[in-house]
Amino acid sequence: MKKFLIGIFVTAMPILGKAQDSQDKSSRDNLLNVQIDKKWLLLPVKNGEERKKMVLRDGDKQLRSFDIELTDQDPDWYAYLDVSAWRGKTLSLDVHTGTDMSRALSLIKQSDKEIDKKTLYREKNRARFHFSPKRGWNNDPNGLVYYNGEYHLFFQHNPYGTEWGNMHWGHAVSKDLVHWREIGEALYPDSYGTMFSGSAVVDKNNTSGMGDGSDPPMVLFYTAEGSWVQGLAYSTDGRKFKKAETPVVPKITDGNRDPKVIWHEPSQKWVMVLYVELEGKQHSMYFLTSSNLKDWETTDVVKGGTDSDTYLFECPEFYELQVEGKPGVKKWILTGANSEYAIGTFDGEKFTPESERLNGQHGRDFYAAQTFNNEPKGRRIEMGWWRTKTTGHGNNFNQSMSIPMEIKLLETEEGLKIARQPVEELKKLRKKHHVFENRQLRDGESFLLKKIKDDFLEIHTRFSSITSEQIIFSIKGVDVIYNVKDETLSIDGVDMHLPLTNNQLELTLYVDRTGIELFANKGVYFMPVNINVDSNNKDIGIKVKGGSLRTESEVYQLRSIWR
């Protein structure tokens, strides 16, 4: 092991100082001492480098520990380590590696400003109306909740790399579900483990006693990976979070995780749904109840699939919906990470499925969706992790979220089904509007709607009087193909059975740089497909094979959500 001592005398200079070799490099770590006088330490990252463990300490006290692709070359990007809580102190950074990292340590900067602000959200492969983190990796949405006039989106976050690892809870807020402002990490790894997924509630009646007498507390529930206990953190301002000293739910089995907590009004109790893997790799959802958010009792176990059968596997979601058009008739929905779901009844302790294994989405790499608690209009709004293809050399971020969608419960010929529609708030992104009137197309004919410059679009199209064998709707080089005989819709090798309604097919598509989200049959069919759209291809057109049809469309060019 090697160790280097760096003397830091920072004023306005961005570089922290020069490395000085210790007398015995072979037996000591790489070390940097830093007098903190700015908000962030900027750590040089090169994607693909070997990960090194870095530890931030105040004397003997460990403050942060994480893996990072720290580089001694020209960095692809800088990771931002918030050290504002320790202004005025001298902290140490250890790099645990046998390699001499003195040059890498000399590249570390200290700053109150974001030095990459001019390029943030303008990256070539950054989605324009889907949330993605400023820097680093994201996966599952966590703790979706409305609190103090803002929608809060927490998310699994690696601030120090563009691949999975170092799980924190990132945090972003929005007034309108559309424009998001990232405000830093809400939860950091601790002695119990890294911060895995969970949920958030507003304790309006202060049942937990964590309120301050004015605003009710926001309470977060999360899994500590490794120890597999369920933790609690709370806030009275929606910005600073304090963790409970001890877990609120002990480990049940290895890998139990992802607590979803809701308030059940009839029983006047809190309900937690927790994923637990039972003996024989049996997936299950445990139901627990509490009167104070701190003391929990198991009341029910619902079993799902086993091993490779992913029904009710991790990331539970649980909510009640009224059946559309039937006031007073309500059902409960229980889902797992892949969006397969059950519909049933719930008495405050026990969930009784009435229909199971219903397919909630038909796309690719849409996962771990969650819905907002305490939504002010009483809507059930969902966002999911969308595994977009945003890796690349020099990239400073990776992955994104779906657009926000409102979920309703509809009666269909096949029974009750959930349906999704893009939230109304997305309409504020509309700018140029193009209308293409009713037109008949025959076998072999093509119709070019228009060369549209923007990469991000909202498209509504209707096909009627269909006698054709195949419809090909080409959108900037991506073919949306509908085979009429077997009623199958395909995008980039992803297939979905989609029945015609009265010999008509109506589609709504949201097109961003990183993929297409398609809605059909009143939103009962939802198909997100992650594919990088060719920005240089401006064509949108329709082609018919065999027979004929009538078509009409309207297209909106959309603004970016990033201001």
CA-to-CA distance for 161 and 121, rounded, in angstroms? 17
Strand ranges, E, within 359-404? 366-371, 381-386, 397-398, 400-401
Please state whether beta strands 109-111 and 136-147 pair in parallel, antiparallel, or not at all (unpaired): unpaired
Q: How close are the terminal C-alpha atoms of the chain, in Å?
A: 46
CA-to-CA distance for 273 and 262, rounded, in angstroms? 9
Place of tokens 């064509």: 539
Residue 320 corresponds to which tokens in the numbers above?
A: 């009640």
Place of tokens 């006088």: 37
Q: What are phi and psi of 148, to 5 degrees?
A: 50, 45
The helix or strand, by DSSP H or E, that contains position 320, with its residue range, turns out to be strand 317-322
Residues in the chain: 563
Which residue among 76, 140, 258, 455 is the active-site one?
140
Alpha carbon of 500 to those of 17, 204, 420, 443, 455: distances in Å? 68, 46, 18, 19, 29
Q: In whole angstroms, how large is the CA radius of gyration of the chain?
A: 26
Strand ranges, E, within 46-130? 52-58, 61-68, 77-82, 90-96, 109-111
Please state whether beta strands 515-520 and 400-401 pair in parallel, antiparallel, or not at all (unpaired): unpaired
CA-to-CA distance for 402 and 473, rounded, in angstroms? 22
CA-to-CA distance for 246 and 555, rounded, in angstroms? 53
Catalytic site residue 140?
A: yes
- CB-CB contact of 552 with 461 (8 Å): yes
Q: What are phi and psi of 476, to 5 degrees?
A: 50, 45
Catalytic residues: 140
